[in-house]
Amino acid sequence: MEHIEKIKERIEQGDPIGIKASANPDGVDYALTEVKKDYLEMSKKNNSYVLHKWEQGDKKTFFLKFLAYYLSFETVLADEGMKDGHKKNLG
């Protein structure tokens, strides 16, 4: 648990953590497909398809939803293993 405390201290001090993980391209593809409708709705609401022009709350909601779909994909993959390659149908 000491390493977790060190990470917390680095974050509190504003030190960068860096990238310590990589993403599964299939999981990213799945999440992008799932959030497309949300992206289009939020783009219309914010009058822009450019994310950095959106309201902060909408950006956060979009990324939280994307991450939830991505992590759900990875959870199913971890629970069930890679059947038929890595392509999974979660729908």
Q: pLDDT tens-digit profile of 10-62? A: 889 988 878 888 999 999 999 999 999 999 999 999 999 999 999 999 999 99
The pLDDT of residue 16 is: 85
The pLDDT of residue 66 is: 98
- Dihedral (Cα; 59, 65, 67, 69), 10-degree rounding: -150
How many Å separate Cα 89 from the centre of its chain? 18
- The model's pTM: 0.72
Is the pLDDT at 3 greater than 60? The verdict is yes
Q: How many domains does the chain have?
A: 1
Nearest to 71 by CA among 34, 20, 27, 36: 27
In a domain, 59, yes or no: yes
> Which structural domain, as residue segments, surrounds residue 33?
22-91
In a domain, 2, yes or no: no
Q: Are the beta carbons of 35 and 66 closer than 8 angstroms? A: yes
